[in-house]
């Protein structure tokens, strides 16, 4: 469907549910992690892009109550005075909504109720962080309706991260929310997460397309696998009396790691990925700024090899079938100049494929023999916002 069709569908649902016309339209996007896999939670570097897959909604004010109806889900509703953490609501949209409102109120911003009907083309297993898109949707609604758009893009992202960490119960860095909030492509430096450096970078109009391929394996019940990565990295940091790896110098790590006892090889390898990935982010930023497409693609391929050999988040042991690694390997059978890799947490879900125009026909033909979900996406120039 076209964008306007999504909004008309949301507005029809709004009329059916609330028996009135909506006053506002809002949109919020997913994110594309271009480089910097599993670095944000240890205060590292990333290159992120906004993803055209998005949440669209029809919205009106409702001063004391929030009611949200998402396509194919039952509506939920709560009073804005009821914003305490409830572990029974972990991993739900109501938790994300309450978390955003709670943090905004704590920061001194005005909050209020609203009613909304939402729909989305973020498919299951897309790997573009639908939770961040939802958080930023709610944040932008409150920003526009009650705060005259005065809340900064970074603060909206931080509010979303708080909600995901504390109310949703998922440990995550700040990359996802920044990708949804800022728009375009941004270099992110999380050395000081409270004052993260966000540098927008014009993305070249390269003769290349971006595809997401979903191999079909579910993300469900993988929290322990995801949390093992920051845990392993922080274990190395603690061995050097640091709290996160960004506080540790790479040369100090290399010289001192052999003298540390009771460390596992997997922990050492994941720390190695962190340091080398940070270096790759700086290199890929330079490639974007100098419009060097081949260098850009080469760095993405190196990132994938590091995920496979050091980070080890591309496959669950014994479950190669339908894994991201299998999808990457199949893509790379035809992508000679292009690149493919896992985004985000990994272990399951979609891969991102950067396909030069001259390789697109063979790529589509080859991957279509194995997968139904091969979705072309783009990078919108602005993040979550009210559509006027």
Q: Which two tokens stand for residue 236?
A: 């190395």
pLDDT, residue 4, reads 97
| Contact (CB, 8 A) for 351 and 339 | no
> From CA 53, how far away is CA 131, in angstroms rounded?
13
pLDDT band for 179, please (50, 70, 90 cuts).
very high
Confidence of residue 94 (pLDDT cuts 50, 70, 90): very high
Span 139-169, pLDDT tens digits: 999 999 999 999 999 999 999 999 999 999 9
Asked if 97 and 53 touch (Cβ cutoff 8 Å), the reply is no
The whole-number pLDDT of residue 362 equals: 98
pLDDT tens per residue across span 300-322: 999 999 999 999 999 999 999 99
Q: Please report the pLDDT score of residue 163 as a whole number.
A: 97
The partner residues of 140 in beta bridges, in order of sequence, read none
Closest among 28, 36, 31, 29 to 285, alpha carbons compared: 36
Average pLDDT over residues 170-183: 93
């Amino acid at each position: 469907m076209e964008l306007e069709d999504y909004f008309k569908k949301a507005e029809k649902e709004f009329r059916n549910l609330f028996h009135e016309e909506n006053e506002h339209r809002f949109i919020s996007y997913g994110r594309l992690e271009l480089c910097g896999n599993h670095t944000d939670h240890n205060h590292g570097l990333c290159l992120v892009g906004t993803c055209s897959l998005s949440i669209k909604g029809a919205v009106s004010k409702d001063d004391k109550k929030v009611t949200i109806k998402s396509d194919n889900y039952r509506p939920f509703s709560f009073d804005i005075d009821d914003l305490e953490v409830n572990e029974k609501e972990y991993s739900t949209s109501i938790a994300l909504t309450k978390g955003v409102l709670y943090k905004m109120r704590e920061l001194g911003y005005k909050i209020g109720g609203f009613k909304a009907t939402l729909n989305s083309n973020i498919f299951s297993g897309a790997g573009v962080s639908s939770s961040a898109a939802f958080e930023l949707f709610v944040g932008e609604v409150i920003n526009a309706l009650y705060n005259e758009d005065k809340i900064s893009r970074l603060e909206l992202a931080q509010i979303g991260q708080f909600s995901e960490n504390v109310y949703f119960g998922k440990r995550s860095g700040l990359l996802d929310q920044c990708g949804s909030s800022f728009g375009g492509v941004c270099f992110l430096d999380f050395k000081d997460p409270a004052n993260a450096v966000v540098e927008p970078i014009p993305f070249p109009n390269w003769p290349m397309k971006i595809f997401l391929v979903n191999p079909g394996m579910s993300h469900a019940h993988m929290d322990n696998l995801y949390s093992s990565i920051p845990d392993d990295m922080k274990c190395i940091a603690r061995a050097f009396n640091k709290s996160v790896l960004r506080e540790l110098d790479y040369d100090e790590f290399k010289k001192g790691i052999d003298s540390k006892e009771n460390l596992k090889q997997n922990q050492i390898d994941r720390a190695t990925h962190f340091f080398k990935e940070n270096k790759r982010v700086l290199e890929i930023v330079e490639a974007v700024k100098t419009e060097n497409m081949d260098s850009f693609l080469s760095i993405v391929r190196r990132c994938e090899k590091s995920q496979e050999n050091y980070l080890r988040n591309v496959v669950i042991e014994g479950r190669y079938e339908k894994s991201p690694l299998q999808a990457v390997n199949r893509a790379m059978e035809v992508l000679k100049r292009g690149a493919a890799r896992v985004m985000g947490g990994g272990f399951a879900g979609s891969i991102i494929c950067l396909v030069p125009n001259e390789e697109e026909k063979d790529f589509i033909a080859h991957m279509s023999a194995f997968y139904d979900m091969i979705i072309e996406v783009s990078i919108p120039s602005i993040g979550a916002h009210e559509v006027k």
